[in-house]
Structures are given as C-alpha cells and as structure tokens.
Chains A and B, each alone.
Chain A
C-alpha cells in the first residue's frame, strides 16, 4: 500500500504523535512545580490511543508505507499491552517522590516517544524499520534512565545503558548488513525467499550474522549473555522507569523476535497455526533454547544473593525473559499464543511489584530488604498485594503467573519430546525462584518490630495497587476473555511466496 493510502490505516500512531506534541506544548505553559499535570494529559491521550487501536482492530491484515510495517491483529495486541503499561507507569510516575525535584514535562514527552517507537517495533517487517525502531526506543530510554541528574546512581545507570545499548545495536547492525548482502533485500518476505532458495555455501555467513542480530534482540529482552546492563540500569534508574523498562520494551522485542524468527528463518507455518519448518540449516531453535535455559537459570540463581529488592526484581525480570523465550523455539501457534498470554500476565504482576517498591521507597527512602522489615503489619494493603505479586511471579496457583507458566510448559510438551528437558528445567527454576520471592514476604511479616500504627497510602496509589492486583488474582481463576482475545489476535500478515 502506498504512503498516502497508508495514512488512513495509521490513525492510532498519528493520534499518539498529536498527543506527544500536545504534551510538549502544554508543558511550556506550566510552572516547574505544576509540571506533573502534563502526565495526566499523556494518560488521557493514551486512553484515546487505546480506543483508536480497539476500533481499528477488526482483523485487517495489510502492509503499510510500501512494505515498511504491517497492520495485523498480532501487532494490535502488543500495541494494547504497551499502551496499558505506559498508562499505568505514567500515573505512578506522578506519585514517585524521586522525581519531585525535577521538571516532568520532558519525562512524559520521552515516555510518549518510547511508546511510539515500540508501536513501530511490534509491526516492523523491514530491516531498516527493525533497526530504526530499536534505536528510537533505546535513545529515549537512555535519557529516561538518567533522568535524576543529581543522583550518581542514575548517572551510572544511564552511562552503562548507553554503552551497552549502542554497542549491541551496533553489532546487530553489522549482522543486518551481512543479511542484506547475502539476500539482496531488507524486506522480511524477500529475505525468507532468498534464504530458502539459496545453496548451502552461504550457511556459515548466515550463522554469524544471525548470532550478531541475536545480540540486538537479546539486549532488548535482557537475555543472557547480553544481560550485563540490566541489574545496574534497573537499580539506578527512577523506579517508575525500571518498571516500564522491565515490561514494555521486553514485550516489543519479543513481538519483533517472533516475527523475525518465524518469518525470516522459518517458513512462517507457526504464524498460520501449523508447525513451522526452518528455512535454513541453521540450528537457531537450539540456540534460542539454550539462551532461554541459561537466562532463567542465571536470573534466578543470582537473584537469591541480592540484598536490594529493586535489584532482586531486576534479576527476576531476566529470569522471566528466559521463561518467555522458552516457547520461542517450538515454532508453533501454541508457542506464540503462550508467549502473548505470558506477556499479558507479566504486565500486571511485574508492574504491581515495582509499584509496591515505589510506595515503600516514598515512605522509608530505601529499597533494601532491611527497609521492608515489619511493613506487612504497618501497611496491610501494601503487604497484602506484595505477597500476591510475589506468589504470582513464582507461578503458584491461583494467580495469573501460574496460568502464564502453564501455557508456556503446555506448548513445550505439545512441541514434542525434544522439548521435555526444557519443561523440567523451567520447573526447577520456578522452585529456585520461590526462595527469593517468599523472602520478601518473610521480611515483611516475620522480621522487625511490629508497630501499632497502621498506614494507608494515598487514594490514587491505593487505586493503582488494587488495579494491578485484581487482574493478577482474577486472571488466575478466570482467564477466558483474555484467552479469547489472544486467540483472535493470533492473525498475522503473511505474504505467500
């Protein structure tokens, strides 16, 4: 579809652009201490964007802007997840005391632009768009990670993020240049066609370039061995940004990986609900199985040793990236379905856990385990929802985390005997994670002095905590609406060769 026709299918993104511009302009009229008001403008704008996505999502599958991006229910699903995460994080940012000394206009503008970049990320089918969207998201995230200009921890986070981010996207770009040279195109479908008809001579070159490309994807989902930035960046950034980075860019990168691996390195059968077959001799499915296994093991084992709750959650988010990647090599519709369900469940439980960290930091000014002592009795609501999030992150019933993990393991078992060992490894990892998640609960309820006073957070914070806690609980018991929604979203734009 040409550029002019495409615009009529592009209204959610156009609306988002208008919202971003409105945020910038509105900020000009505000005094520094009132600048939080732009956050509400962004929130209302994003609600409008989500309505636009909902209206648009009626099963259209087409390419836009002369085959640069696609519009299909799969991308609409991820756009919804991303917008929801941005709305929740924006509201909570307004109540994050770390940001009080700073002007918030740029913060919300950048958050809007990251959302726009993620929209491109979930719908790109061209190597140029893949690189461009990763860079849009990365560059804005560098600034957001270092937003607390006076805090040396935040400075350090930004420096590490920028060095690792630029480095891994550079390596990815070099890999992309070889893919372009080998296949003569930047379009996913044409690359797939060229790969499946090429002789085996190009195989080594393809393996090298795919490993280089994995560096870029691995960095975005923070998979081992590209995870070194994660703990430091997550610990140093403003906690609201940590929450955002642990959910939205991960969802975007997973969507991009699903498209890339199933559409370029496999015949796309998984996207049509059939079993996929790899187009090259490249053992990429085994490589990803191995990465997923190492990622969840490293994340869980290192998380045990942490004394800082925020850092512990950073390692836990590495482990969860591993669980999500588990279903990638199955190359079936089931696997993609399981990843989408997991992302949706993970959104609520992980954001909720970080929101609790913010609430407690506002009160105690600290985020180590010592600062959590006895808080379960002093702040009953916060203690209760934190216990729920920790149980859900472990993957115990009756919570959303259990359903997410159940579908991941089910897709592996349906995938055949060669995946059984991954199920065993995933199960063992869940047991390890039980130790450090429940340590938070133990510290909150069984350590420190029990105080007589009972504190409740402010009304909006309470509302937000309950809003993330309810889906975490309800979706563990009744997840049919979400399952139906994902079932309907499992429609891709596929070009027949």
Chain B
C-alpha cells in the first residue's frame, strides 16, 4: 500500500495514541451541503477515517459559493462528489454513502454504527426531524441553526444540552429571513461542529 501522506503529516501533530482514537471513531454526517461537506473536510484533515454520509441532492451551481465541490462536479450526486474530494485528502478513508433522503424511518438504521452524528441539513424541518429521531439514542449529536448572512461570526455560539447534544449557530439567522447562505459563516459553523467532535474524541 502506498504511503499515506496525510497520516505522515498528522504524525507530526498527534501522538500515535491520539491518532488511533481519531481513526477508530465512525462519524455520521446527515447532509452533504454547506455544513456537511465542510465539516467532513475538517474531520478528514484531522485524521478521521470512517464516515457514513447521506444526501439525496446533486451538486448545483448555487452550491459552489460555500460547499466543498468544484465546478466540474455540477450535476453529480453530492455524496459521490464529496467522496471523491475527501479521498483526495486521504485515499484511505472508509465511506458508507447513501444517495437518498434521510427520514425519521431510516435515520437510526443508517447511523447505527455511528456514536457521533453531525446534523448538516439545510431545512429547519429536516434538522428537527433528525434531532428528535436521535434524541435519547446516546449518540453525540452536533446540530447547527442560524448561520446565514454575513453578520458577526462571533455570534455563532455553541450551546450544550443534555444527552450529548450540541447546537451551533446564532439561532436566528435563517434563510427564511431572506439572508443568503455565505461561505464564511457556513464554514465557521461547520468547523465548530468538527471541533466539538475532535475535542470529544481526544478528551474522552
């Protein structure tokens, strides 16, 4: 097997024990849009190797302003395009991808092997569905709400609830208010989601 250059680089920053912890965790990502694609990139760069990622959508021109896709990927299923992009960072990642809509009936099955799940949907109704479907599951769940526009990014805070549940965002800046989703705030929110996971895994 070819030398894994990402791993070689990561060994400069993490101990073997830390890397083993990171590589061992299977992370679920619900949605491969602005939050999901960027959170996945942050996690792969941090050494995470096992993922289950679901999204029913295809890459569109209106995604390129903030999502981790390239112009030549327009028209491809997001999960497939994201898989290709993540493998360019680490060719040895293990991906379980689903090109289908997650609904209350399939969420628990799809994420059965994931002790950690990222809520990375666009629509508030789908966000609520996922959080409620995983409530009480004991999984670490990191959701986001309120990240549209270009206002003060320090307002994108992390709130911790019971049952390993975190919510990132300012709670109010939704696209319902006419605010566009822009790269900087979406990136901040998705990076915060990834950071909670990294901290959790390294400090548990």
Do the two shown chains form a genuine complex with each other? Answer: no
